[in-house]
Amino acid sequence: MRTGISIVLTSSDRQRLEAVIGNRNTARKHVWRAAIVLLSADGVGTVEIMRRTGTSKTCVWRWQERFMHEGVEGLLRDKTRPSRIKPLGPAVAERVVRLTLSDPPAEATHWTAAMMAQESGISASAVRRIWRAHGLQPDRYRQFKLSNDPKFADKLRDVVGLYVDLPAHAIVLSVDEKSQIQALDRTQPGLPLKKGRLGTMTHDDKRHGTTTLFAALNVLDGTVIGRNMQRHRHQEFIRFLNTIEAQVPAGQAVHVILDNYAAHKHAKVRSWLDRHERFTFHFIPTSCSWLNAVEGFFAKLTRQRLKRGVFRSVVDLQEAINRYVAETNARPKPFTWTANPDEIIAAVRRGHQVLDSIHSLMIADKGFMRPVRGWPRPGAFWVVQ
């Protein structure tokens, strides 16, 4: 052993090193480090340690010295080494951020890591690190739609009021139709899910027709009244209202929440409403389908039954939808509204203020502005003409 190196093992250290060697899941480098120390403590010479562990003389000396100064923990931890690649300066990150917020070249709609790497002269992984550090995600975007309904606040409070404070001796129904549901069959059978492999499904399909689901969600108990029809005109809507009239207990007022689809406001629908005085319609603001509670039921239906379903006819599709409605009614879940309407109204006002400011820039100085390539998208700049 080298001069100045003295290895004395305590019983706990010896047990720990032997456990490291005996564990089949231990990293190989930790095994031969522990073996070097154990052999050294037993008085084995350097040449013999090299032969038994398959390491070099400098390697044996290094780990003998490391154990002498840092103990077992020093064997199980690698010291950090400086990177061979010099770190990027703040100027590079600043340039990448500035380019990301500008228009990409070649009429592309958004920056990719490869495009930015080529433009800035750094690697794509470095570009991704800079984007991650600055919270930039140019490959993603969020869609939005602001309602232009002049009575947005009043209609919102009216509908939310029905959700959070149901009228006494009344039923609140969220009504809508999911139109053009396609009965899709696959051209070839897919493979089932198994360990290490996803389930498969052909990208092409056979179309066997469509159906329209009219649905009314009872906000209080979560049950659904559903009916499949071929079309979604005012005639079919009136037939569905008759279905609701037949299934809702007599003597109870019915408050119906629905959107501004033209069939819902047809003259014959209004005439039907005049003849059925216990029904009251509450229209949500325009472009606010998220306010209609039955849309959540439609989303679950699509995700759990329709999206990957295989239907060889419209009848098969309708039967599958009817079974899902029956399953929903067997385990109903009441609808609970949690959002604050004041916060929603404030957010919509802020959105309109941003759009109004952009519009003001467009007409400023008696000129006009045009959107850059790829508009609309987040981060797009407006260029004055």
The rounded distance, in Å, linking the Cα atoms of 97 and 134 is 8
Candidate from 57-61, 112-116, 245-249, 371-375 with smallest mean pLDDT: 371-375
Gyration radius (Cα) of the chain, Å: 35
Candidate from 2-11, 50-59, 240-249 with smallest mean pLDDT: 2-11
Beta strands 369-371 and 382-384 are: antiparallel
The pLDDT score that the predictor gives to residue 374 is 42
Mean pLDDT of the chain: 87
Residue 359 predicted with pLDDT over 90: no
The pLDDT score that the predictor gives to residue 300 is 94
Burial of 257 (0-12, 13-18, 19+ CB in 10 A): buried
Average the pLDDT over 324-329 and give the result. Answer: 94
Residue 372 predicted with pLDDT over 80: no
Average the pLDDT over 29-50 and give the result. Answer: 90
Residue 85 predicted with pLDDT over 80: no
The pLDDT score that the predictor gives to residue 1 is 57
> Which residue do the tokens 């923990």 mark?
73
Structure tokens at 117: 């790497």
Residue 204 predicted with pLDDT over 90: no
Residue 146 predicted with pLDDT over 60: yes
Q: Is the dihedral of CA 70, 75, 76, 78 positive or negative?
A: positive
Candidate from 18-22, 55-59, 365-369 with smallest mean pLDDT: 365-369
The rounded distance, in Å, linking the Cα atoms of 58 and 54 is 12
pLDDT in tens, 275-307: 999 999 999 999 899 999 999 999 999 999 998
Average the pLDDT over 21-44 and give the result. Answer: 90
- 229 or 105, which is more confident: 229
pLDDT category at 371 given cuts 50, 70, 90 is very low
Residue 319 predicted with pLDDT over 70: yes
In the chain, % of residues over pLDDT 70:
92
- 158 or 378, which is more confident: 158
The rounded distance, in Å, linking the Cα atoms of 26 and 17 is 11
Burial of 76 (0-12, 13-18, 19+ CB in 10 A): middle
Check: pTM over 0.85? Answer yes or no: no
The rounded distance, in Å, linking the Cα atoms of 217 and 244 is 11
Q: Please tell me whether the peptide bond between 105 and the residue prior to it is cis, using omega within 30 degrees of 0.
A: no
The pLDDT score that the predictor gives to residue 105 is 84
- What's the residue count for the chain? 385
CATH class of the domain at 152-189+198-330 = alpha beta
Residue 77 predicted with pLDDT over 50: yes
pLDDT category at 202 given cuts 50, 70, 90 is confident
Average the pLDDT over 334-362 and give the result. Answer: 85
